[in-house]
Amino acid sequence: MIDKELAYIAGFLDGDGCIMLQLVYRHDYVLGYQIRASIVFYQKQQNKFFLEWLKNKFNNYGYIRNRPDNMSEYTIVGMKQVSEILNLLNPFLILKKRQAEIALSVIRKMPGKGKKMNADLLLGLAREVDKFSYLNYSKKRTNTSVKVKEFLQLHNVGSRRD
């Protein structure tokens, strides 16, 4: 993509989009939680064609869905895809630049192929996700680093420092 397109898309993300890091409870995970990275673009259903254009620009990552409130959303989930897109858009972001930088920092610290998440790393990253959530004015957030810590202690997983 050319810089002009990237700047336009970054402006769209700044205004009608969202960068998210979430702590997701997983009953089947030894550590109890995973970190999910996502980017979401919103648009009225009558302009859904624009979200389809975006999806095409981003290697067809993610999915588009129509919501009951006459809005469509284009959602991209996954560390690799979110990292790739944020690295493209970050030089042009203004309002969501701090979110992008924190998300990219967390993604860089995630274990790579062949390595596993451990309790200390998860708890440290969960605290970064907590900081991130304040930038997004999260109202309904219930999974926090405190809950992760409680889970780890209750299930005697990892170290007990902290």
Cα distances (angstroms) measured from residue 63 to each of 39, 67, 93: 11, 13, 23
Domains belonging to the chain, first-starting first, are: 3-154 (3.10.28.10)
> In the structure, what pLDDT confidence band is assigned to residue 1 with cuts at 50, 70 and 90?
confident
pLDDT in tens, 21-51: 999 999 998 899 999 999 999 999 999 999 9
Strands in 1-125 per DSSP E = 17-25, 33-44, 63-66, 71-77
Question: The tokens 């970064």 sit on which residue?
Answer: 128
Q: Shortest CA distance to 12 belongs to which of 46, 32, 45, 39?
A: 39
Cα distances (angstroms) measured from residue 116 to each of 10, 38, 68, 110, 112: 33, 21, 39, 9, 8
What is the rounded distance in angstroms from the CA atom of residue 51 to the CA atom of residue 65?
A: 10
pLDDT in tens, 51-100: 999 999 999 999 999 999 999 999 999 999 999 999 999 999 999 999 99
**What is the structure's pLDDT at 17?**
94
Catalytic residue numbers, as ranges: 15-16
pLDDT in tens, 92-141: 999 999 999 999 999 999 997 778 899 999 999 999 999 877 787 666 78
**What is the structure's pLDDT at 159?**
57
- φ/ψ of residue 158, rounded to 5: 75, -165
